[in-house]
Amino acid sequence: MIEHRGTLLSEDLFEKRFVCDLNACKGACCVAGESGAPLEKEEAAKLKKLWPKIKPYIPEKGQRAIEEHGVSEIDEDGDLVTTLVEGRGECAFTIFENGIALCGIEKAWKDGAVDFRKPISCHLYPIRVVKLAEHDGLNYHKWPICKPACTCGAKLDVPVFRFLKDALTRQYGAEWYAELEEVYAAWLDSDLAKKGARKS
């Protein structure tokens, strides 16, 4: 683990490559899984407040689920998550464009209808954040449906943390991210030195 300004980062964020390839995965993360996207309490409250403005973007089945259960629910693990459509893997906020599942909240945000982009857990994926006593633990979450993203990331040579620059900056600030690039450069030098030592 690498300590950086109140966070503990898995080295996977530097080692692994990742770039979403929606044409390949079709936005599977919005419609797969056993529960909705993890939410902070503040995010659930904000979604509840913004729902009238987000609602026009959401398909009828998603609207029905939210009207019946609310914008959030508690999953089997006791975590606060976005509501699912009919209890299945599909997030109630999912929209479809050209056969690709996308976030209706983000669509409303892009149109300027709301000032909330989407849950930070979605924005940060494939990073999952674990709240520790004194740090946020940032781990890389491997999910088979994201194999196309790993292939695309390897082809473009984009580390996980760089793919998530916008999300990490949103969560921790521009200064935090700028210094993370410095940490990465030092890590690269150290890693190259280790490899050189093993060869000699």
Mean of the pLDDT values across residues 68-87?
93
Instruction: Please report the pLDDT score of residue 191 as a whole number.
Output: 67
Domain boundaries, the chain: 1-18+126-192, 26-124
Q: How confident is the model at residue 200 (pLDDT cuts 50, 70, 90)?
A: very low
Give me the helix-helix angle, 165-172 and 174-199, nearest 10°. 120
**Lowest model confidence (mean pLDDT) among 45-59, 76-90, 104-118, 155-169:** 76-90
0.85 surpassed by pTM: yes
> What is the model's pLDDT at position 195?
60
Residue 183 makes CB contacts below 8 A (sequence gap 6+) with 2, 4
Q: What is the residue type of 51? A: W
Task: From residue 53, give the alpha-carbon distance in Å to each of 56, 88, 110, 113, 116.
Answer: 7, 25, 13, 6, 11
What would the pLDDT profile of 95-111 be if each residue is shown by its tens digit? Answer: 999 999 999 999 999 99
Following DSSP, what letter does each residue of 170-199 receive, concatenated?
A: HHH-HHHHHHHHHHHHHHHHHHHHHHHHHH
**Tell me, what DSSP letter sits at residue 38?**
B
